[in-house]
Amino acid sequence: MSTTTPATPAPAMVDIRSVHKSFGPLDVLKGIDLEVRAGEVTVVLGPSGSGKSTLLRTINHLEKVDQGTISVDGRLVGYRRSGDKLYELPEREILKQRTRIGFVFQNFNLFPHLTVLDNLVEAPVSVLKRPRKAAVESARRLLGRVGLADKADAYPGQLSGGQQQRVAIARALALEPALLLFDEPTSALDPELVGEVLDVIRDLAHQGTTMIVVTHEIGFAREVADTVVFMDDGRIVEQGTPGEVLDRPRHERTRAFLSKVL
């Protein structure tokens, strides 16, 4: 650490500004501001219905925001700016942007009719137009990385939930995303399978992958998060280091939530 010059902060990989989102009369996101720096892990906690999934979905434009902007890797998500006006990008451009943002869902969402290998090869070939041979090589390497090299020819239905989720993570990585989003990646798993999935996510964190992880796994948050964000009722109530938010929460709502999940 230099004592004379302040360290240059890493650029924000994700920059969320004043994001509002409603579904009809229901205000779900009520002004979210959040920055995630390259290489950092942000864990989002909060009660059911607080808007966590909606927030993740706005980041790759699966939901359109009503107000505010989101940038990922320096690029506005879903829009281009012209003067002070924003124009929504054509679907083709949005799909391309999405390949930069991996999304891992609670229920894996693998293609059931494709083998494990083809689940990983499909998007690189069809969206990024990679040669199939290179995509297959890269897919095999990724399956090795999540400990499933021997399952390349299996179908998702033949795997345990933990294995399916590891395939889903490998599939997200196959697009070499700048950012990975996880929406309760272990919530649908039997307790004995949670650890193997968290191990994979922990490895990714140690390798410097930028991630936003919605989870109720407090132990994981404490160990892996650079920043913990607590959301309630469409707002970020509190954010800070794991020590600040988990051990010394300043807000009553954070304390009440933690007392229920710890």
Name 238's Cβ contacts closer than 8 Å, sequence gap at least 6: 229, 230, 245, 249, 250, 251, 254
Nearer to ligand ADP, 57 or 100 (CB): 57
Nearer to ligand ADP, 196 or 232 (CB): 232
- Report if residue 185 touches ligand ADP, rule: CB under 6 A: no
- Report if residue 64 touches ligand ADP, rule: CB under 6 A: no
50 binds, among ligand ADP, Mg ion, none (CB under 5 to 8 A by kind): ligand ADP
151 binds, among Mg ion, ligand ADP, none (CB under 5 to 8 A by kind): none
- Report if residue 162 touches ligand ADP, rule: CB under 6 A: no
Residues making contact with Mg ion (CB under 5 A)? 52-53
Which helix (H) or strand (E) covers residue 236, if one does? Answer: strand 235-240
Applying CB under 6 A, the span of 7-15, 41-49, 96-104, 106-114 interacting with ligand ADP comes to 41-49
Give residue 29's identity as a one-letter amino acid code: L
1 binds, among Mg ion, ligand ADP, none (CB under 5 to 8 A by kind): none
Residue 22 main-chain phi, psi, to 5 deg: -120, 150
- DSSP H stretches of helix in the chain: 52-59, 91-98, 116-126, 132-145, 161-173, 191-206, 218-224, 242, 252-261
Sign of the CA dihedral running 62, 162, 146, 204: positive
Task: State the residues that interact with ligand ADP by CB under 6 A.
Answer: 23, 26, 28, 46, 48-54
